[in-house]
Structure 1
Amino acid sequence: MKKWAISFLIAALAALLLYIPVNDLHIEYNNQLYEEQRADASEHLNMIRDDIQARLDSSLFYADFFEMIVSQDPDISESELREYGAFIVGRNPLVDSISLAKDGIIHFVYPLEGNEESLGYNLLEDPDRKLYLEEAIDKRKAVAQGPVKTIQGGRKIFNRKPVFIEKISTEEVWGFANVIIDFDNLVEASLLPNQSHAFDYAIKVESKWVESTSWGDESVFEEDAVTASILLPENEWTIALIPSNGWNRTHTIHSVETIVFYFFILIIFILVMFFVLQYLKKRELSRTDALTRLLNKKTFEVSVKRVLKRSSRNNGLLLIDFNDFKRINDTHGHLVGDQVLTITAERLMHCLKKGDLIGRIGGDEMMILVKDIDAATLESIKERVIRHIEKPIVLNKHMINPSISVGQTLVSQWLPFDHLYDIVDKKMYRDKTVKKSRKAQLSISFDLPDLES
């Protein structure tokens, strides 16, 4: 389980280390696409803005034209005015109508058809227009208003230019020259041909006199839109644009590139986890005894040296050797002998602390290093080890009574491993001699009984 956890963590770290730079490049690439998209959208919007601006300028200018004519000849005939009006309306499809309002009251309009009701209309008495007219007179400039929704349902742009005439000793306001632009025709001429670019547009008009008006989807202004300004006489429009499908600021998790990217990360994660797991398994095999899963002699020796060099306390060393283990192999076979060693290793791991070291030194010899211990506790551990290992083992319907000899020593300072091994080895053989002598005196038979079922 520990190997799996380590493999998982290393694989996750490798995947993360790969994910971070690649994801940064991915984000940078997306940001670059986003900036390029905004640049293209801005260029497209500027083209539309320039087209609208040019169309408006060429249309709204006619208010200045009529102001000049009337100021030079206030008594110009209606027939001449109709000729001028017919020429302008026929030449410019955006111009809906032209009118003159002497003293603010409309007395001439072209074309008359469809605009009959406007004759005699007093602009100065209309609160929605009065402020614009007063502003125009005050600044002696044309003032645009709109787009304004008309009774007929369309949207119009009104450009009103005050007309001043000179008297003998003064200058007075004659009235107003008005040009009405069809806003819907303007949109149709400038915006609709560009709908193939899959953009959504909106226009907003802020006015200090009346509430702001807009055309199109007002939510466009809330979507980080590209904007540009359109200038009208004493007025300003803001035109905004966003792609119909939104900005390509980030790719969704369902995009092909993202799916491939995460699949690649997953493959790397699996491969790294597999190879790390294999490495840990091989490393464990190189450090442990293949049969008992205890530390092998070399690893145990290196570990003991490392512990003793770092430790400032007493440590206990025990050497375990089976008595008459050859008889077990000869009587029951080497496979049973191997099983006895495996069971013994499991018993040792259960009766010792997790931090204690257990190694198979060779054959039927096992060695234990118990950390931070005194002599009395070491003796107690020795007895516990003997008690656990010498419990009967039943294998293949045969009862086996293991017997071991143990040599132990208390290590208070660092000593070469061979020297320590020699000390516990001699004590172990003394213990083995004592047990053999005791058994001989008591005439205890070492024959292993069989338990037939």
Structure 2
Amino acid sequence: MHKLRQLTLKNLLISFIMASVIAGFVWQSFRLLQQEQMTAAVNATKYAALTKLFSIASALESELNETIKYSDFLSLIVSHNPDITQEELDGYAQLVLEQNDSIVGIQVAPDGIVQMVYPYEQHKVAIGHDLLKDPQRKQYALQAIETGKAVLQGPVQAIQGGYFLFNRKAIFTPTETGQKFWGLSVVAVDFDRLMDVYQKTFHDEQYLFSLSVRDDNDKPVLLWGDAQTSSSNTIQQSIVLPHATWDLKIYPRTNWGETDETVFKTAQFDLLITALVFVLAFASTSSYLKNRRQSRIDPLTGSLNKNSIFTHVNALLNRRKPFTLLVMDLNSFKQVNDQYGHYIGDLVLIEITQRIQNTLSKEDRLSRFGGDEYIATITTNQDDIETLAQQIRINVMSPMVVEGHTFQINLAIGWAQSKADNSSTYSSLYQEADQRMYMNKAQLKTMHSSGNDMSLPATS
């Protein structure tokens, strides 16, 4: 924190000196200075937009994923009481609706055919609806049965009117030989009402927002918002839902400031704007680092922060749950920040984090432990860690395009497995994994010097 504050103040002082010298003695080169300042202002705007976008996306994802627990709850209730009556269902359903304002209806569908609904008057038209024969619902209903997990569909036109999101969970009842499919529990979320809840959050005169879902061909389909956000210069954040991924996009109403010629009318005004930008950046960065340190999640990448991964590892040790601790370090990542700036570097880190996360299972945990260092806990695939590590390296090394620049980043990986006698500690596991990581880093350097390394430097 102290070093970061020093660096910010130093950059502020250099900007003041450069602006004064150029404005006073080299007026002909002032256009170049204006362009540099404009670029800094654009990057600052994008960084603020990225922070705002992540905050909104996290809140919306949390709201939607919360509805899953209610479909799980209903599935559990019915599986233990397959002869549930409408009156009994009404009691549970009323409790659910009181807990979540976005949920507007509950359905129970034995053999996939809706037979009980709540509230009755608003949803009675759905009674008799065969979800397994409806071509628009069948795919999602079968997916819920096959996976045994809640599956989200929507928004779609509901029989009872309006656009709904449906969380469906298969219900199974026990038999002498195992279990059999009984039916489906359905939680209906009013999409329009949900978006109304976030309308004030989305309403911002400075930005345009949109929400889209990816179709079977991974192409975005607009669900809500302004179509102008389809611009290639849009910043977006994925919202991961059960068997679906939504993209929340943000775009400024007046571009990112690239064409705002009124900002730098005179050299004096340029100096004032430069000072304000850096002062605000300093205040914003200080606040950002403070909040990040106090929060559970790394605001940039969405992974766990240092304190959270420490707590998680100790919890696994206390439960005596076998796991492997991975320590990963990006090679020569400093060159990216030095050459392209921290805004580009942050976007690269976000992409790398997503690639690592996609390689891990849902039970595993990932943390950006430091600037370019990651820690992961692996509780699955304990016998094939080397294959997992290789897959992570392959996925991370796959070329990525960020803001028109192409990067190919390699990383070193080390790991340590918890001991069966429960003698492992966080420190011992980290030290062992860290040592192996540095051994791997040395091997990669040797391979690179001999021409056998597959990694390439960042290129633009």
Letter paired with 2:97: V
**Alpha-carbon separation, structure 2, partners of 1:127 and 1:176:** 16
Instruction: Give the match for residue 287 of structure 2.
Output: none
In the alignment, which of 231, 234, 249 is matched to residue 240 of structure 1? 249
| Aligned-residue offset at 1:119 | 0.4
**Alpha-carbon separation, structure 1, partners of 2:205 and 2:54:** 14
Matches within 5 A, 1:185-196: 185-196=193-204
| Aligned-residue offset at 1:118 | 0.3
Matches within 5 A, 1:384-423: none
Q: Which moved more, 1:193-202 or 1:235-244?
A: 193-202
Could you tell me whether the CA contact under 8 Å between 1:101 and 1:175 is conserved in 2?
A: yes
Instruction: Give the match for residue 257 of structure 1.
Output: 264
| Aligned-residue offset at 1:149 | 3.4
Q: CA 1:151–1:124 in structure 2 vs 1: closer, same or farther (change >3 Å)?
A: closer
| Structure 2 gap ranges (5+) | 1-21, 271-460
Instruction: Give the match for residue 216 of structure 1.
Output: 225
**Alpha-carbon separation, structure 2, partners of 1:181 and 1:202:** 19
In our comparison, the structure showing a higher alpha carbon Rg is: 1
Instruction: Give the match for residue 116 of structure 2.
Output: 108
1:119 counterpart = 2:119: no
In the alignment, which of 75, 79, 93 is matched to residue 67 of structure 1? 75
SS in 1 for 2:95: helix
SS in 2 for 1:106: coil
SS in 2 for 1:257: coil
Instruction: Give the match for residue 30 of structure 2.
Output: 22
Could you tell me whether the CA contact under 8 Å between 2:114 and 2:131 is conserved in 1?
A: yes
TM-score, normalising length: structure 1: 0.51
CA offset digits 1:365-387 (Å, max 9, x no partner): xxxxxxxxxxxxxxxxxxxxxxx
Q: CA 1:174–1:19 in structure 2 vs 1: closer, same or farther (change >3 Å)?
A: farther
Could you tell me whether the CA contact under 8 Å between 1:147 and 1:213 is conserved in 2?
A: no
SS in 2 for 1:249: coil
| Aligned-residue offset at 1:47 | 1.1
Could you tell me whether the CA contact under 8 Å between 1:48 and 1:191 is conserved in 2?
A: no
**Alpha-carbon separation, structure 2, partners of 1:211 and 1:245:** 26
SS in 2 for 1:244: strand
CA offset digits 1:296-347 (Å, max 9, x no partner): xxxxxxxxxxxxxxxxxxxxxxxxxxxxxxxxxxxxxxxxxxxxxxxxxxxx
Letter paired with 2:250: L
SS in 2 for 1:175: strand
CA offset digits 1:55-95 (Å, max 9, x no partner): 11222321111011111221122211100111111221100
SS in 2 for 1:125: coil
1:132 counterpart = 2:140: yes
Instruction: Give the match for residue 87 of structure 1.
Output: 95
**Alpha-carbon separation, structure 1, partners of 2:77 and 2:246:** 29
Q: CA 1:256–1:71 in structure 2 vs 1: closer, same or farther (change >3 Å)?
A: closer
Question: Number of residue pairs matched?
Answer: 247
In the alignment, which of 41, 46, 49 is matched to residue 41 of structure 1? 49
Letter paired with 1:229: S
Q: What value does the CA root-mean-square deviation take over the aligned residues?
A: 2.8
Could you tell me whether the CA contact under 8 Å between 2:213 and 2:220 is conserved in 1?
A: yes
**Alpha-carbon separation, structure 1, partners of 2:182 and 2:219:** 30
| Structure 1 gap ranges (5+) | 1-13, 265-453
Moved over 3 A (4+): 17-21, 149-153, 209-213
Q: CA 1:238–1:63 in structure 2 vs 1: closer, same or farther (change >3 Å)?
A: same
| Aligned-residue offset at 1:54 | 1.7
Could you tell me whether the CA contact under 8 Å between 1:207 and 1:235 is conserved in 2?
A: no
Instruction: Give the match for residue 65 of structure 2.
Output: 57
**Alpha-carbon separation, structure 2, partners of 1:109 and 1:151:** 13
Could you tell me whether the CA contact under 8 Å between 1:64 and 1:161 is conserved in 2?
A: yes
Instruction: Give the match for residue 284 of structure 1.
Output: none
Could you tell me whether the CA contact under 8 Å between 2:126 and 2:160 is conserved in 1?
A: no
| Aligned-residue offset at 1:151 | 5.8
Matches within 5 A, 1:414-433: none
| Aligned-residue offset at 1:191 | 3.5
Instruction: Give the match for residue 315 of structure 1.
Output: none
Could you tell me whether the CA contact under 8 Å between 1:160 and 1:176 is conserved in 2?
A: yes
| Aligned-residue offset at 1:232 | 1.3
Could you tell me whether the CA contact under 8 Å between 1:147 and 1:157 is conserved in 2?
A: yes
TM-score, normalising length: structure 2: 0.50
Instruction: Give the match for residue 99 of structure 1.
Output: 107
Q: Which moved more, 1:112-121 or 1:151-160?
A: 151-160
Q: CA 1:251–1:160 in structure 2 vs 1: closer, same or farther (change >3 Å)?
A: same
**Alpha-carbon separation, structure 2, partners of 1:72 and 1:27:** 68
